[in-house]
Chains A and B, each alone.
Chain A
Amino acid sequence: MRMDFDAPKPEIKVLHGKNITYQKVVDEVLHGIEEEGIPFSVEEMGEADPVELAFRGAELSHLGVGIGITEKEVVLHYIKLKEDQPIFRIPSYSDETTLRAIGSNAARLVKRMPFKNLDNTELS
């Protein structure tokens, strides 16, 4: 909890595990958010479950939007959803475009814009 009286900065919270070996994955997701022009912050946390990480992120984020990244998965979560039912989850080995797209979608959730396609089969 911040102790000063400033309103917390509205930002998307990106959480990932400790001592990571997948900085590239994190970077791509962050680029996706950046391209959409929404502020974000990154933190590491000793937690292995990506959905849990994402939900923690959503709780910490003033915008209610969190992303959890582990070696295996990237998960996008929203504070108003049930903890075990995130919006999107993709494997961490997804290609660059998809990783970036999930970052964009986090921002688009904030901006209320149609999501980018994460599996190239649906609406673009």
Chain B
Amino acid sequence: MIIAGIDIGNASTETALARYVDGKPAFLSSGIVDTTGMKGTRQNIHGVFASLKQALEKAELAVEDVDLIRINEAAPVIGDVAMETITETIITESTMIGHNPSTPGGLGIGVGVTVDIREVNNCDKGASVIVIIPREVDFEASSRIINHAVSNGIFVNGAIVQRDDGVLINNRLDKKIPIVDEVSLIDKVPINMRAAIEVAAPGSVVEQLSNPYGIATVFDLNSEETKQVVPVSRALIGNRSAVIIKTPAGDVKERKIPAGQIIIQGTNKKAQVNVDDGAEKIMEAIRSVAPVEDIKGEAGTNAGGMLEKVRQVMSNLTDQLPSAIKIQDLLAVDTFVPQTVKGGMANEFSMENAVGIAAMVKADKLQMSMIAHELEAELGVKVEVGGVEADMAIRGALTTPGSDRPLAIIDMGAGSTDAAIINKAGEIKSIHLAGAGNMVTLLIASELGYEDMGLAEDIKKYPLAKVESLFHIRHEDGTVQFFDKPLDPRTFARVVILTPNGMFPIPGNDSLERIRTVRRDAKTKVFVVNAIRSLERVSPTGNVRDIEFVTLVGGSALDFEIPQLVTDTLSKYSIVAGRANIRGVEGPRNAVATGLVLAYEEGE
């Protein structure tokens, strides 16, 4: 008889097709397609169908030849991710420009009162001014006006320019002044206010204006006012040029948004933890009350909103009341999110603290039997719901050459990280945890400030390189690769993602090192943390060290660096860990589908 095992995962639907001869399975083919709809919902059927068809085609069989389809009990968990910033910088009254034009003009620091360049000659002799040069005034006119004003005894100590004209103006001045250019929102610069402007030499960064006491020196601030400018100076750190404009009722503040409490209800314990305390404290609390029954956020706070959002999404997907949705696990990760500074003038960012969470809810088991029923009706083939996903995965994983019981697996998917362990006697223990590939994507996107999740997904999946000339790139590891044909000018001098479809330039000015660090940190924060967390929970003694062999399965185990990161960490616990190779041919893919077929043999 012919059996198809079909595994509906968060990201992909996989099929394993086998023929049973004398009670022994001979595998024929496999199929893999993207999961349609959210896992565990009716929309999955299209994906199941496509995946099955793919496997059948490879084996040159038709649907009618299949005697039995076994689908997974779709580890009744769904993951969702959310992100909330817990600090915010608002600058009111005072304002600043802290962007990084590639070519500011001049050098040094200048202080004066802001004035429109067209009005500068109306200033009193001996006045110290900073001229504002809007788009309408070109560099030739502005340099002429400045030279004229200076010869009339007006101290022009700096210039703020809308166009990319800084160097051109500077080259035409008799007396050099610091010039900040490419200030897009120049009409927001207040006129007749005291301002300080600083341009650092090439290769250096501003020193005076990124130092609160430096600002205090320039503006004669008292200690209380100095405290208030700290967010401004912080936002200016690392820039080559900076402007601060001080208005009389100057008030700059960093506001802390009350993040709220998370309440974790365990089977017999309860814990409360403040989101402000950071991810570590939250994870500690979750560990202390495990097993978790439900997690709630304090109403009316960001934490509450974040968890309720997850609950709402889940309730919509599963057609259950929000109150019936129980969050069973949560992975909290500390992160930084670039947020536009409110009150800035050139879209300055400030890195704000944020906490990202991945939550996992237990879904309804009925959903899978509903899918099984519909499939059966549509295909005319008997469909049954097989065993628990993790149990199946471990059966599949055991087909990896060189593996044997006892064995632990970590199934790193898109929505959840699952672990299971099988002992010598064949007893299986499993666990599902929140946080996997999707969480990594979210962290990458938010830390680098991308709206585009597709870009973050590509950064997660593929290595980076820097295009160093029209003919060569330098890979992350420093190796150089040359090309016969000139590369696309759009990629020139940029960091690119090496996708199978060619190079894709990353917008923005983030360096390769920074993007790489963000990527690897995100993977570590999610997968390495979850690997330890999950093994702790399935280990018979509660100690990770008592597990000897671990194989990694699931889509994220295909990643070019996640398995190494996990293997490396686990080796510190003297665990032999590595990527599985299902049936010796599938790599880390198809474990559950294969397990579903094998479980039939054991009569489960």
Between B165, B493, B507, the greatest number of chain A beta carbons within 10 A of the residue's beta carbon is seen for: B493
* Chain A positions within 8 Å of B505 at CB level: 114, 123
The proximity string for A residues 58-82 relative to B, scoring 1 for CB distances below 8 Å and 0 otherwise, is 0000000000000000000010110
* Chain A positions within 8 Å of B507 at CB level: 123-124
The proximity string for B residues 167-180 relative to A, scoring 1 for CB distances below 8 Å and 0 otherwise, is 11001000000000
Asked if residues B171 and A113 are in contact (CB atoms below 8 Å), the reply is: no
B14 interface hit (Cβ, 8 Å): no
Q: Interface residues, chain A, CB within 8 Å of chain B?
A: 31, 34-37, 78, 80-81, 85, 87-88, 100, 104, 108-109, 112-115, 122-124
Question: Given A35-B164, A37-B103, does the pair A80, B470 have CB atoms closer than 8 Å?
Answer: yes
Question: Given A81-B470, A112-B469, does the pair A35, B493 have CB atoms closer than 8 Å?
Answer: no
Bound CA span A95–B63, Å = 63
Question: Given A85-B486, A123-B507, does the pair A35, B470 have CB atoms closer than 8 Å?
Answer: no
Asked if residues A35 and B167 are in contact (CB atoms below 8 Å), the reply is: yes
Asked if residues B489 and A113 are in contact (CB atoms below 8 Å), the reply is: no
* Chain A positions within 8 Å of B470 at CB level: 78, 80-81, 87, 109
* Chain B positions within 8 Å of A112 at CB level: 468-469, 492-493
* Chain B positions within 8 Å of A114 at CB level: 492-494, 505
B102 interface hit (Cβ, 8 Å): yes
* Chain A positions within 8 Å of B471 at CB level: 80
Bound CA span A31–B494, Å = 24
B490 interface hit (Cβ, 8 Å): yes
Q: A122's contact among B171, B468, B490, B493, by CB below 8 Å, is which?
A: B490
Q: A87's contact among B167, B171, B489, B494, by CB below 8 Å, is which?
A: B489
* Chain B positions within 8 Å of A108 at CB level: 492-493
CB of B43 to closest CB in A, whole Å: 36
With CB as the reference atom, state the residue of chain B lying closest to A117.
B490
Known: A34-B171, A88-B489, A112-B468. 20 other contacts (CB 8 A): A31-B139, A34-B167, A35-B165, A35-B168, A36-B102, A36-B167, A37-B103, A78-B470, A80-B470, A80-B486, A85-B486, A87-B486, A100-B164, A108-B492, A108-B493, A112-B469, A114-B494, A115-B489, A123-B490, A123-B494
With CB as the reference atom, state the residue of chain B lying closest to A122.
B490
* Chain A positions within 8 Å of B489 at CB level: 87-88, 115
CB of A56 to closest CB in B, whole Å: 19
* Chain B positions within 8 Å of A80 at CB level: 470-471, 486
B166 interface hit (Cβ, 8 Å): yes
* Chain A positions within 8 Å of B492 at CB level: 108-109, 112, 114-115
Between B164, B167, B490, the greatest number of chain A beta carbons within 10 A of the residue's beta carbon is seen for: B164
Asked if residues B168 and A34 are in contact (CB atoms below 8 Å), the reply is: yes
Interface hits, B145-170 → A, CB 8 Å: 164-168
Bound CA span A80–B139, Å = 34
Bound CA span A102–B572, Å = 54
CB of A89 to closest CB in B, whole Å: 11
CB of A82 to closest CB in B, whole Å: 8
* Interface pairs A-B: 4 shortest CB-CB: A35-B167, A114-B493, A112-B493, A114-B494
* Chain A positions within 8 Å of B469 at CB level: 112
With CB as the reference atom, state the residue of chain B lying closest to A96.
B138
With CB as the reference atom, state the residue of chain A lying closest to B167.
A35
Asked if residues B167 and A37 are in contact (CB atoms below 8 Å), the reply is: yes
* Chain A positions within 8 Å of B164 at CB level: 35, 100, 104
Bound CA span A109–B487, Å = 13
* Chain A positions within 8 Å of B102 at CB level: 36, 113
With CB as the reference atom, state the residue of chain B lying closest to A76.
B489
Bound CA span A112–B164, Å = 18
* Chain B positions within 8 Å of A34 at CB level: 167-168, 171
* Chain A positions within 8 Å of B490 at CB level: 115, 122-123
The proximity string for B residues 441-477 relative to A, scoring 1 for CB distances below 8 Å and 0 otherwise, is 0000000000000000000000000001111000000
Question: Given A87-B489, A123-B507, does the pair A35, B103 have CB atoms closer than 8 Å?
Answer: yes
List 21 interface pairs A-B (beta carbons < 8 Å), by A numbering: A31-B168, A35-B164, A35-B165, A36-B102, A36-B103, A36-B167, A37-B103, A78-B470, A81-B486, A85-B486, A87-B470, A100-B164, A108-B492, A109-B492, A112-B493, A113-B493, A114-B492, A114-B505, A115-B489, A122-B490, A124-B507
Bound CA span A73–B4, Å = 64
* Chain A positions within 8 Å of B166 at CB level: 35
Interface hits, B106-150 → A, CB 8 Å: 139
Bound CA span A122–B488, Å = 12
* Chain B positions within 8 Å of A31 at CB level: 139, 168
CB of A21 to closest CB in B, whole Å: 21
With CB as the reference atom, state the residue of chain A lying closest to B471.
A80
With CB as the reference atom, state the residue of chain B lying closest to A36.
B103
With CB as the reference atom, state the residue of chain A lying closest to B468.
A112
Between B102, B165, B468, B471, the greatest number of chain A beta carbons within 10 A of the residue's beta carbon is seen for: B102
With CB as the reference atom, state the residue of chain B lying closest to A105.
B489
With CB as the reference atom, state the residue of chain A lying closest to B486.
A81
Bound CA span A87–B471, Å = 12
With CB as the reference atom, state the residue of chain B lying closest to A123.
B507
Interface hits, B174-214 → A, CB 8 Å: none
* Chain B positions within 8 Å of A109 at CB level: 470, 492
CB of A76 to closest CB in B, whole Å: 9
CB of A50 to closest CB in B, whole Å: 17
CB of A39 to closest CB in B, whole Å: 12
CB of B167 to closest CB in A, whole Å: 5
* Chain B positions within 8 Å of A36 at CB level: 102-103, 167
* Chain B positions within 8 Å of A123 at CB level: 490, 494, 505, 507
* Chain B positions within 8 Å of A115 at CB level: 489-490, 492-493
The proximity string for B residues 483-506 relative to A, scoring 1 for CB distances below 8 Å and 0 otherwise, is 000100110111000000000010
Bound CA span A78–B486, Å = 11
Bound CA span A88–B488, Å = 11
* Chain A positions within 8 Å of B165 at CB level: 35
Bound CA span A88–B505, Å = 18
Bound CA span A122–B468, Å = 20
CB of B96 to closest CB in A, whole Å: 23
With CB as the reference atom, state the residue of chain A lying closest to B505.
A123
Bound CA span A81–B471, Å = 9
CB of B514 to closest CB in A, whole Å: 15
* Chain A positions within 8 Å of B468 at CB level: 112
